[in-house]
Chains A and B, each alone.
Chain A
Amino acid sequence: MRVTVRLFARLREIAGTAELTRTVEAGATVGSLWKDLAREHAALAQYERSISSAVNADYARMDRPLADGDEVAFLPPVSGG
């Protein structure tokens, strides 16, 4: 399955890109995708406990299973207003 990953703010800077695509195995979840990314970019690991995630522009939990074509967003702690 292919999924699109969107990264924002500091996460975007760490990864050096705002958007990337990844091929994941059946049974992959938001959380397993995050772990893949954190292996590629060690500096992401510090966000393990503070990120939020979204699938197709709706907030989603880390155990959410992925489907082909999903857009998965990882969001560092927010600071709007």
Chain B
Amino acid sequence: MIEITDLTVADTSGRAVLDRVSLHVSPGERVGIVGESGSGKTTLATALLGAIRPGLRAVGGTVTFSGTDVLALDRRRLRALRRESIAYLGQDPATALTPTLRVGGQVAELATDPSPESVARHLAGVGLPGDRAFQRRFPHQLSGGQQQRLALARVLAGDPELLILDEPTTGLDAITQDLVLRQIEELAAARGITLLFITHDLVAAARLSDRLVVLRHGRVVEEGPLAATLSAPRHPYTRELVAAVPDVAEAFEKYGHSVFETSRAPLLEVRALGAGHGRGRKRVTTAREVSFTVERGECVALLGESGSGKTTIARCVSGHHRPDSGEVVVDGEVLPDVRSRTLAQRRKVQLVPQDSAGSLNPRRTVGAAISRVLKVLQGLTGAAAEAETARLLALVGLPAEMAGRLPRQLSGGQRQRVTIARALAAKPDLLVCDEITSSLDVRVQAGVLDLVASLSESEGLGVVLITHDLGVIARMADRVLALRGGEVCEQGTVHEVLGEPRHEWTAALVAAVPSLRAELDARVA
């Protein structure tokens, strides 16, 4: 069905984004294309639709779909191909929905038969109600899960032969991801749709493909049947990828046994914290009566979906958000908000924010960002600061020459590591990490987590870890606070919360967590 031969796509400077990539997909097959950010996955996916991003150019090779040369099609035929044969579901499918278009219109404009009855059938196909009232709704009146399904119904309305999925589950929590993948799996099987699943997530790929293609720096480094490729990878890169996958069950067995005694003088004590956003009648309380402690060398995870209040709590600890009630106590001292903290108090607590791009001044070099902290909080200047900056960069796995770069010259993962280095420059006692690994590829993620864990062990660094990823928690945390709607719904050691969850939400989350090993075992059986 798809026949890509020696496709080479280069940017304006001549650097190859895809380098002689060949791919053969037969009708009804399910092929997973795995690679890290920057490996050329998305370029490959959209090339199949005859769309090459501005600034890139196909310089060699061919892309054929059912015998037609896609790259040579005129606009009208290309539109017909996209409309009738190939569907594309991109990252964060809900953003593909135009907010001014009603549910019915979203599906009807792409359906072969735009009648309300046919639209209702398409909606029912993805498990959505098809009645008139529902068809009259706008996307914002649906839940997040319904939006995902509507986006799927939309691209499937044209009865495509091939469905290209480009990271459709990135950023979703485990429960929603599980639902979306199951839905796609069932629909594709029922309708005999060929699947091309592009992802950086090996676990998701294992779930939805029969064959794997591993892409690195625009080249295919390994290709083969799923089980064989994952259980006995031939290429060292694939081996590295497989080894780096955070597997909850494995990490749990390996790390989940540490027990920290709660001492009388914890490093951090949060007492009955309450906080909210907005003013007057629009005030929304995002944290209610939250209490917990962190010991020296301990890592406490705040687990919750978006909107559960975990970031607000973290920002209260770092002093960037003023709580309505309750206290933040570090080393026995009640800390005010960050502006009123003394330099010594500021040094103790450091925040690594989620948005690394937004927290770095775009006009200051990486070195300037780090040495400023060294100067203000450590009193280091000149050659001493330079040496320390290089040491910190090396610590987070970045070469010393990065000090001269500006944030926009770095990748997302590199920026994230710079913000960690900047926080460590203060020699903090407590590190507050807000979803620091969510934008990182698995290999980089493993490196960052190892770094924080080793600092915690060797220097007694206390860590407050905010995440929605159970794999990260199993690897890192000693204790877990599960948050729902701003309240602690369950707390305990990792062993208690992940091993025997008591709250129904935690239990559902643990049950939905994907595991590479479990996926493989299921396949082989």
- Verify that A and B bind, or say they do not: no
Report which B residues bind A (CB closer than 8 A). Answer: none
Report which A residues bind B (CB closer than 8 A). Answer: none
